[in-house]
């Protein structure tokens, strides 16, 4: 039986065509392909070393045991707050719910002006214009999910229209989902093509590429997806939609950070990492910050290159910050549920 063609329906011709479009290619990315004996995308991906599952998981587990000194814990909590993409992605997201989300994003703890705003709110495209109005004159960005989120199962023309509508409404960032079925079938060119076309449609908006790692089956596939997203021009690579289990895990995040580090070393272009799904406690967040600190250069310890996609996480960060400052936990009604 003949297996699937590595480049599927898109084919080598499409890769050549789209590789020639300078506007769709991040600076330095093509230099990664040219020195290879097989300079095709599949050839490049085959040249990536296999992921050592045992070593990866052992390193992630070891880093998870690292503790932060008491004096640095408040700074860690405040840094994590500044990195949150405060998210609501439900079918019952009303205008009132989004207004409340935006208010919390601007002032997470209204009783303490020392708590700065979060990085962004993350919502569906049809709510972008409302969020932009609510967040006017604030540093909080508006991120919109797009490209048939969360499944990614629509024609490319529909996905691009989704992105264009979000950007036209004022989205500062777009969180797209890759076609996981194409990647699992070995149709890497289709995945790369879609990322590049979405990047072009974003215009000046930053692009976060969601890998949906829980559906990619192996660490090798996650590594390939990370490289494809970065070669396609992603400003961030993101673990998950939050709709699939398992979502973000420490080994997956570590693997993605290592890919980002190598890509940066090869091209000089920094790519951010966003972890999302299942991150609910301050302890979880600090573990991810330890990964960042131990794996990536210092510039990644900022909202410009690292984010948490979360809803309930923010409350626990606020609770733990209060405890560090005052020595006691605040009451259960001190923070909004949303």
Q: Give the active site residue among 238, 284, 303, 316.
A: 238
Active-site option among 109, 162, 175, 284: 175
Q: How many angstroms separate the CA atoms of 253 and 239, rounded?
A: 7
Catalytic residue among 274, 284, 303, 316: 274
**Backbone φ, ψ for residue 178 (5° rounding):** -80, 165
HSE toward the beta carbon, residue 271, CA cutoff 13 A:
32
- The reply to whether 172 belongs to the active site is no
175 classed as catalytic:
yes
Residues 288-299, buried b or exposed e (16+ Cβ, 10 A)? bbbbbeebbeee
Is residue 238 part of the annotated active site? The answer reads yes
Q: Which residues are catalytic?
A: 175, 238, 274
């Amino acid at each position: 039986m003949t297996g699937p063609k590595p480049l599927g329906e898109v084919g080598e011709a499409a890769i050549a065509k789209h590789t020639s479009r300078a506007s769709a290619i991040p600076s330095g990315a093509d230099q990664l392909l040219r020195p290879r004996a097989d300079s095709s995308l599949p050839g490049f991906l085959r040249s990536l070393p296999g992921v050592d599952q045992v070593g990866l998981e052992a390193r992630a587990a070891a880093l998870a045991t690292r503790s932060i000194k008491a004096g640095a814990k408040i700074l860690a909590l405040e840094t994590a707050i500044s990195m949150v993409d405060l998210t609501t992605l439900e079918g019952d997201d009303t205008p009132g719910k989004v207004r409340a989300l935006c208010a919390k994003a601007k002032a997470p703890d209204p009783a303490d002006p020392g708590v700065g705003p979060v990085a962004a709110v993350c919502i569906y495209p049809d709510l972008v214009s409302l969020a932009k109005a609510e967040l006017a004159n604030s540093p909080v960005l508006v991120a919109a999910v797009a490209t048939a989120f969360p499944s990614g199962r629509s024609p490319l023309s529909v996905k691009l229209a989704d992105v264009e509508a979000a950007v036209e409404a004022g989205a500062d960032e777009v969180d797209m989902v890759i076609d996981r079925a194409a990647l699992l079938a070995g149709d890497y060119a289709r995945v790369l093509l879609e990322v590049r076309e979405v990047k072009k449609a974003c215009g000046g908006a930053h692009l976060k590429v969601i890998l949906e790692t829980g559906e990619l089956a192996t660490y090798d596939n996650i590594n390939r997806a990370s490289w494809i997203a970065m070669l396609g021009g992603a400003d961030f690579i993101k673990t998950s939609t939050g709709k699939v289990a398992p979502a973000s895990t420490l080994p997956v995040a570590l693997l993605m950070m290592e890919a980002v580090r190598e890509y940066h070393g090869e091209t000089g272009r920094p790519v951010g990492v966003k972890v999302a799904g299942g991150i609910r406690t301050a302890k979880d967040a600090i573990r991810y910050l330890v990964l960042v600190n131990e794996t990536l250069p210092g510039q990644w310890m900022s909202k410009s290159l690292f984010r948490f996609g979360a809803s309930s996480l923010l409350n626990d960060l606020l609770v733990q910050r209060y405890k560090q400052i005052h020595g006691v936990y605040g009451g259960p009604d001190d923070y909004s549920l949303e």
